[in-house]
Structure 1
Amino acid sequence: MIRLFDLVFSALGLLLGFPLLLVLVVIGFFDTGSPIFRQERVGRNKKPFTLVKFRTMKKDTASVASHLASADAITPFGRLLRRTKLDELPQLWNVLKGEMSLVGPRPCLFNQDELIAQRESRGVLSARPGITGLAQVNDIDMSTPVLLAETDEKMLKSLTVGAYFKYILMTVSGKGAGDRVPGKE
């Protein structure tokens, strides 16, 4: 049932949001010269996939988890995208393709060994990663791998259709800070 909701909402989001996506791409070209950011992430059952987002940092920024990045790397437009969570919109393509869900544990990088081990021991990696979830709406990010894995496990064990919509609505209404970068954000 949740996969059906993912398909419907991601397709509608991409279709109805196309004009906004186009505007953000154009502005992104002026901001960084390369508005789309692609990065290999850990997917369901540890299968790698390429996550797509709007670029919020300078092009030459090191590929690290957000909590390890420098706040100076974030562009002014990128700061706006992060604050409004519009940088996440391209991930609807990942959801449509079945690599992600709207709700699930945030996909991490393959170099985040502690988080991967914690998630693996709790069965979290057997789920599709998501754009949002219980950890995100409670400001729990990848800087606390044990807490994040515990929260992801808790969410997955109690994920109902009602909870799915609750996390989406909480995210859309501005609950949660998203992937934080220490410093000026």
Structure 2
Amino acid sequence: MEKQARTAGAFAGIACIASLLTGCTSMVTGTASPATTTNATTEADAFAGLKACQLLEQLNAGQGFNPGENKTRRNECGALKPGFASYSLVLDPVQGLEEFAATNTGVVNTSINGRDAMQADIPTGGCAVAIKVAEHARAMALVTMVRASEDAQACPNARALAERVEPLLPKTR
């Protein structure tokens, strides 16, 4: 019985090795060429040179906010004003307003300094205003109040932040 189990295991091992070897030995002839550029790739440069933390610190200068912190690998920055609110700025070169509408509930269409924009409450508290930069690029101003009792001020504050950041954004293509 033990010999049969070992034999079956050996055959299974040989079969695995054979499938790995045959899967790796095929070759494709031709010349390698770079992938074609897509619309999303060309819009990836919509914020070329702009850093969310630099913009947010410029906008928050002299108002008592802590220095901005990039908390993710994305071009996203947040700054806290103790006892007041957390302001965040996200420069997203991949997602536009359509994606914002699809991932948020209660979205309201609006305009920020003449640009298409959308506003939505954040489920965990706060408010976000997304500004169109290109079809697949947006800037987003987020405000979360420190005290839940002041949540009603989150959207007016997010809108005010969005109105100040909009002139610093690249023009819509």
TM-score range (shorter-chain normalised) is: 0.3 to 0.5
Larger-Rg structure:
2
Question: TM-score, normalized by length of structure 1?
Answer: 0.31
User: Normalized per residue, which structure has more helix?
Assistant: 1
User: Normalized per residue, which structure has more strand?
Assistant: 2
Structure scoring higher RCO (CA < 8 A, sep ≥ 6) equals: 1
